[in-house]
Each structure stands twice: as structure tokens, then as C-alpha cells.
Chains A and B, each alone.
Chain A
Amino acid sequence: MGIEERLKLLEDEQSILDTLYAYGHGLDYGQEDAWIDCWTEDAVLDWPGRAFMRGHAELRAGFRAHSHAPAMYHKHVVMAPLISIAGDTATVRSMFARLDRYPDGPGIRAFGRNRDTLVRCADGRWRLKERLPEIEAVRAQAPLGGEPFPDSPAMRQALVTPAR
């Protein structure tokens, strides 16, 4: 691999990380446009137990239904991203944890894995085309100022049988 190809790979990986990080910062701090800009126009977000979202309009509605600082402080942390790039498409597996405030102090609300597909867009930025999170553990207690995790049949099913 030539130096230009190696540099391009590094730039692609950094751009992908920028998008993964903007997701958490955007959701936690209410940066709506920055968060929407993480997604392609036809992107899919399928949270177990929540409404299936496809496209910017549904994603924006989901974003507005979500809590943000300063009304509620939480952290969507993404770790250990495994990035596999093939041409203009990337597959990423990462771990996530969500931290919230509880009466005794900060606690882990949930952890799991993100299964992502990103694509290189015309402007050069990599955006999420699909995010299929697997929730592996949740805390039943509601965080301060928040709701407990939705106790839906889909959620229970998701917890019993994590998606592939």
C-alpha cells in the first residue's frame, strides 16, 4: 500500500471516529443539527424496544423525544471501535455505556454493542447509514429526572435474545 493510500485510510478512520463521537456529544448536549448530520438521508436506527427510525425526519423526532443537558445530564460513551473499511462503506463494532445520575451518585444505566454501517458521502464525510444497537445489560432503577427503561415486549425479547 502506497503512502497516499495509507494516509487516506487514516483520514477515513478519523472521520468515522468523528461521527461516532458527535453522536454522543450531540445527544447528551442537545446539538440537534450536529446529531442529524451524523446520518445519511435514508439512515436507519433500530433501538430495541423503541420506535424504528428511518430517515432524517424520524431521527429528528426521536432526538427531540430524548433528554438532553441541562434538563438531564447523561453520557453516551462509545469505546473500543473496530473499524473495517471496504471502499466507500465501513462496518464498525463498538462498545457503549450510558452513564446517568442516580440518588447515590453516577451509575451505569446500560451497556452493550453498536453494530454500525457508515458510508463515505459526496462531501467526504462518513455518516451512519445504519445503527443496530444490542443492549446487553440495563439498570431497572430510573435515573434522576428520567424514566426507567421501556418495559416493552420488544425490550424483554431483545434482552433475552440479543440480535446477531
Chain B
Amino acid sequence: MLGWTVFAGPLSGHDRIRAGFRAHTHAPDAWHKHLLAQPQISLHGDTARVHSMFFRLDPYVSTAGPEIYAFGRYIDTLLRCADGRWRFTGRVVEKEAARAEAPALAADRRTSPTAGSLTTGDQGADHGN
């Protein structure tokens, strides 16, 4: 289950998450960086809960340079799978701040803004996750 603010509800299952991935911008059409910092990991046997901070960098026309598009917090749950790898069972995205201007290279590909209830902040438009 993946909570993205640009979709009205959570994305459940590989098919919907794959559709979400395809609706997102990627290089070389749009260059951005999804950065994660300070993961607080709580292990409980074969499950884990992780709180981390995120911020996304994008290029902008108005400033002629890279800026922070958004920042916020990820609330994740993970599961140790049969093959030994840890995978997400859920990710909630709490977007706390976002730039109103559309990123320079993503402007023509962005998903239509339909901000969901997971948006924590109230600043700016929603140009994706």
C-alpha cells in the first residue's frame, strides 16, 4: 500500500503501484532527486517500522536553478520476505511543504493535481511525489 498525494486514495498491490510508477516523471524526461534522511528503524521480528525525512530536488525556471520541491516524512512498514529481502508493506507520505511552481522539466508530464487526504501541509500545488 502506497499513499501518494497525487492520487485520491492509497495504491494497493503491484498493479496499481506499477501504474503509479508509470504516471510519475523519470529521467531523461525530468531530472529530480528523491532524497531520504535520518531513518529511525524499529525492528519487530520479521516486520519493521521506519520513520524518515524526505526532500525532493527539482530544477526551476524562475530561479534558473535547482530548488527543494517538497519535504516531509515517510511512515513505512516493511516485511522480511521468504527470500530474505525486506520489502515495503506500506508507505504513507506526509508532504509538509511544496513549491507552487511546477518543476521546469516535469511541467508537461505532471499528473493532474488531485491532492488526497494524506497531504499534511497546505502550501503550494501538488506536482507529484
Contact = CB atoms under 8 A, between A and B. Distances in A.
B97 interface: yes
B92 to A, nearest CB: 14
B124 A105 contact: yes
Interface in A43-90: 69-70, 73, 75, 77-79
Contacts of A25: 38, 40, 51, 53
Contacts of B70: 106
A69 B67 CA distance: 22
Contacts of A123: none
Interface string A1-32: 00000000000000000101110110011000
Given A69-B96, A105-B67, A105-B124, A75 B55 contact: yes
A21 B42 CA distance: 13
A144 interface: yes
Interface of A: 18, 20-22, 24-25, 28-29, 69-70, 73, 75, 77-79, 99-101, 104-108, 144
Given A73-B96, A104-B100, A105-B67, A99 B55 contact: yes
B39, B69, B97: residue with the most chain A Cβ atoms closer than 10 Å = B97
B55 A105 contact: no
A20 B53 CA distance: 13
A78 B37 contact: yes
Contacts of B69: 105-106
Could you tell me the dominant secondary structure of chain A's interface residues? mixed
Contacts, number: 69
B113 interface: no
Contact of B68 (A29, A78, A107): A107
Given A105-B97, A106-B68, A144 B123 contact: yes
Contact of A18 (B37, B40, B71): B40
Interface in B86-121: 96-101, 120-121
A139 B99 CA distance: 17
Nearest to A26: B40
Contacts of A104: 99-101
A101 B123 contact: yes
Contacts of A70: 120
Given A70-B120, A77-B37, A106-B98, 7 more contacts: A20-B38, A25-B38, A25-B51, A69-B120, A77-B55, A100-B97, A101-B96
Task: Sort A-B residue pairs by CB-CB distance and give the 4 closest, nearest first.
Answer: A105-B99, A73-B96, A106-B68, A21-B38
Nearest to A22: B40
Contact of B98 (A100, A105, A107): A105
A79 B69 CA distance: 19
